[in-house]
Amino acid sequence: MINYILQVVLFQVLFLAIYDFFLSKETFFTKNRWYLLSTPVLSFLLPLIKIPTFQKAIPQEYIVYLPEIILSPEKVIQETSWYQSINYIDVLFGFGVLVFSVLFLAKLLQIINLIRTYKRTKKDGYTLVLIPKQTKAFSFFNYIFLGDEIPDAQKEQVIAHELVHSKQKHSFDLLFFEFLKIVMWFNPMIFIYQKRITLVHEYISDEVATKSAPKENYINQLLSNFFQVEDIAFINQFYKQTLIKKRIIMMKKKQSKKMNQLKYLVLIPVLISMLFYTSCSENSSGETLAKKELQTMYFNNNGEITATIGKKETYLDFYIGLGDDSLSKEDEVSENELSEGEKNEFLALKNSFGDGDKINYEYKVYKYKKGRKVMTFIPDFSKMKKNKGKASDGSVNFLTIEEAPTFPGCDSGDKDCFSKMILKHFKRDFNTALPNQLGLSAGKKRVFVGFKVNENGDVVGIQARGPHKTIEEEIIRVMNTLPKMKPGKQEGKKIAVSYNIPLVIVIE
């Protein structure tokens, strides 16, 4: 969402820059009005448009992953103070929306009160509201508000000016920006847009009004500094001191040449560039420059691919898959093709598992979703076949065993039940308060556990790799409390079976 908002603001900056540099000084007032109304809408829509021809085709592969265990400190969460669970960004946004909504409603009620309180006169196409002891002059839809102390000689011209606002529905434009100000109160570009279109409204009304009266007289009225101003952003005011100079300059300006309308064509390359940016921004492959992003871990839970986004920024995403055919070989990346940051990260994670030959795993990198590179560790079935499914220490991997070890209470060889019971054991015995006492940063922390169920059904050879030595020791302690299993079988003989389980510990 933050990325989307930044793109919206960036596009609005570009659209306003085009308007200020190329269009604001031209006398194509109606075209400029529609430009200022349409470009904010475009800025909201463009980030959502993804043109396939601009995108790099990335194949969607079917991948098989090992199951994941997530350990969340539920006990700690229950004891956490209420203020620690509040999303303060959401609160700030909601508070801003509330404040700007209240301000809008207050000003709207102010206008309604003027209509109800003072004398109204129905005219042809509008309603005149006379305000006693005032020199204000402004309009809101079909209502024209006029101070009764404005000289009669000026009233006619003021009404003619305000009637243009009324007939061309300029109030709709201002209300549109009021709505945008409420939902994007933090975006200064919306306020600038409203100022720009307010000035364009005055240009349009001045242009029409001066056709029925000499420009010199009209300008003298503006310079008389006689009129009061109402502090309401979504009404059209006849006299607003900050706009007087610009209005007079524009009235004295000669009509722009029709050829100058070609300036609007500047939008074409800009729009194409924006579309190209939005279409490719999420599919940037990073081939020329790798950058850190929040790491995504991909898993398959009962055949359904899921993605877990962590809070740690890394060069590589990560998944656990089966078989080297689960990803397209064309997308495989050699170690030499990795950037220095990617290579260091790849080697560090690879080394954290020790010698891959012992557990019959290979480590590879592929280009994957959103152009990001993902590191994989996959079973090397070719080596398993040479050893009749056995690793170098004589054990058989859980994924290839003919009859898997059986957890007490499960049906014989039931792998799904085995995984569920391991998860249940961890949730019951793991000290969930411990990770929050180690000074680790908040987020999801990955821990990789390796162990074997030997020929006697005992859990042995427990290894753990995690973000803190204390966590590793706690996991080994929990694993050592696992009950005795019914051993697995391969070719009718009892045999040791190796396991590798990825765990995610949630740090609050």
Locate the domains of the chain by residue range: 1-49+257-283, 87-252, 293-507
**% of the chain surpassing 90 pLDDT:** 14
The predicted pLDDT at position 105 comes to 93
Model's pTM, two decimal places? 0.50
* CA proximity to 137, closest of 216, 249, 226, 243: 226
**Rounded CA separation 160/163 (Å):** 5
Dihedral sign computed on CA atoms, order 401, 405, 410, 412: positive
Asked if the model's pLDDT at residue 505 lies above 80, the reply is no
The mean per-residue pLDDT over the stretch 381-403 comes to: 55
The predicted pLDDT at position 57 comes to 38
* Inter-helix orientation angle 188-209/152-167, to 10°: 120
Name the helix (H) or strand (E) containing 138. Answer: strand 137-140
472 or 210: which leads in pLDDT: 472
Q: For the ranges 48-62, 233-247, 342-356, 440-454, which has the lowest average pLDDT? A: 48-62
Q: At 176, is the pLDDT very low, low, confident or very high (cuts 50, 70, 90)?
A: very high
The mean per-residue pLDDT over the stretch 364-372 comes to: 75
Asked if the model's pLDDT at residue 41 lies above 70, the reply is yes
Q: For the ranges 61-65, 94-98, 338-342, which has the lowest average pLDDT? A: 61-65
301 or 127: which leads in pLDDT: 127
The mean per-residue pLDDT over the stretch 50-61 comes to: 50
Angle at 355 between CA 499 and CA 309, to 5 degrees: 60
Name the helix (H) or strand (E) containing 300. Answer: strand 293-301
224 or 436: which leads in pLDDT: 436
**Rounded CA separation 432/448 (Å):** 17
Query: 145 vs 124, 137, 141, 152, 204, CA distance in Å?
Result: 15, 6, 11, 15, 19
